[in-house]
Structure 1
Amino acid sequence: MAENDSAAAVRTLVVDDEQEVADAYALRLQGYCDVETVYTGSAALSAIDDSPVDVVLLDRHMPGLSGDEVLSELVERGYYGRVVMVTAVDPGVKVLDMPFDDYLCKPVEREDIRAVIDQQRRILASETLGEYFTAEARRAVLESELSSEEHSEHERYTDVAERAERLENRARRLLADDEILDQFDAVDRKEM
């Protein structure tokens, strides 16, 4: 069991072409979060396509697809998660234009890598919560405007309802305390 129950639910992908390094980071995270390890940039993109990943720990310098290229591809694909560069490459001023969420220089200690995962979990949970509140409020408004029969026939209602459900599930998985979701649900948004 993880030291932090909400961190245990974080789906983390470690990406590093040095197998020993990737496996060492995965070992440091074992029992703390749900961790998967891959050793190439293309394997990272496949893993993210195959299942939802909350946090990517990404090496910058890899043969084939570099971490920088993987990061660019994630942005193009609209990846919804957090990316932490974990690398021995000197950051340089180029990092000012890179869309990562945190940057760690190797080697990274066990406590630091776990702290970063928890920080990124909290940020992602907060972002997801905000998006859920927006989607759920829209769903509730549409629900009050449409009859029960119209719900299943109305494409936008179906889309927003499905999005709200996905976001709620992810927020509940990532939040340490989901009381705020229950409070949101308790507000009556329907016409009398």
Structure 2
Amino acid sequence: MSSGSNRATVLVVDDEPEVADVYALRLRGEYETRTAYGGEEALTELDSGVDVVLLDRRMPDISGDDVLAEIRDRDADCRVIMLTAVDPGMDILEMDFDDYLCKPVEKADLVAAIDQQLQVQRYDERLSEYLEVTSKLALLEAELSSQAVDDNEELQELSARAEELKGKMDQTIDEFEDMEAAFREIARHPG
């Protein structure tokens, strides 16, 4: 989540200002929103505070496909949902987006898609932290005597944190079936 706020930040990118503004307006009650009216502006606006990018493909200055490639080259810590009138073709196999929605998209479907990406993002963060914590524990447990491990308060806290993270991941895995069902219910293509 973006710093300074409990709400996620969504960057809406479309070269048609009225389209970008309509989607941003629809989302303002749920998220912090920003708009960019083209690919170049999107790359300027993209910073560590952006959690999800809604990205149009067909833009005159820099295409959404090229913006997506640049976002991935920067290793930006955000999820990207293509939100476009371009019907997907075989070319999408090579694209590194997180979801693809064809315009027009109803607010409920858009919010559901964004929420799913935020859930995935939170899970990824937990997995990274879990692997970091368990790696440290394994290294220290291999180096120290079992008595030293048992007597070390910091290691006990680290072990408790590993268990807490594991529990959260198990809960997320249990929720996966519900998430998958909700994912399938989102209308990705009108009609």
Normalising by the residue count of structure 1, what TM-score does the alignment of the two structures yield?
A: 0.67
Give unmatched runs, 5+ long, in structure 1: 1-7, 146-179, 186-192
Q: Which has the higher contact order (CA 8 A, sep 6+)?
A: 1
Give unmatched runs, 5+ long, in structure 2: 1-5, 144-160, 167-191
Whether the 8 Å CA contact 2:83–2:102 is kept in 1: the answer is: yes
Distance 2:137 2:93 in 1: 40
Amino acid in the other structure paired with 1:15: V
Percent of aligned pairs with the same residue?
48
Distance 2:37 2:139 in 1: 46
Residue in structure 2 matched with residue 152 of structure 1 by the alignment: none
The offset of 1:25, in angstroms, is 0.5
Instruction: Work out which of the two has the higher radius of gyration on C-alpha atoms and give 1 or 2.
Output: 2
Q: Which residue of 70, 74, 89 corresponds with 1:73?
A: 70
Q: Which residue of 130, 133, 149 corresponds with 2:130?
A: 133
Distance 2:165 2:85 in 1: 44
Distance 2:46 2:135 in 1: 29
Distance 1:84 1:69 in 2: 14
Do residues 103 (structure 1) and 100 (structure 2) align? yes
Do residues 34 (structure 1) and 15 (structure 2) align? no
Q: Which aligned pairs between 1:23-172 and structure 2 lie closer than 5 A?
A: 23-49=21-47, 51-138=48-135
CA shift digits 1:133-179 (9 cap, x unpaired): 2234445678898xxxxxxxxxxxxxxxxxxxxxxxxxxxxxxxxxx
CA shift digits 1:34-54 (9 cap, x unpaired): 1111111121112223x3211
Aligned-residue RMSD, C-alpha: 2.5
What secondary structure sits across from 1:107 in the alignment?
Answer: coil
Q: Work out the number of aligned pairs and report it.
A: 145
Whether the 8 Å CA contact 2:10–2:34 is kept in 1: the answer is: yes
Residue in structure 2 matched with residue 10 of structure 1 by the alignment: 8
The offset of 1:17, in angstroms, is 0.6
Normalising by the residue count of structure 2, what TM-score does the alignment of the two structures yield?
A: 0.67
Residue in structure 1 matched with residue 19 of structure 2 by the alignment: 21
Distance 1:87 1:39 in 2: 14
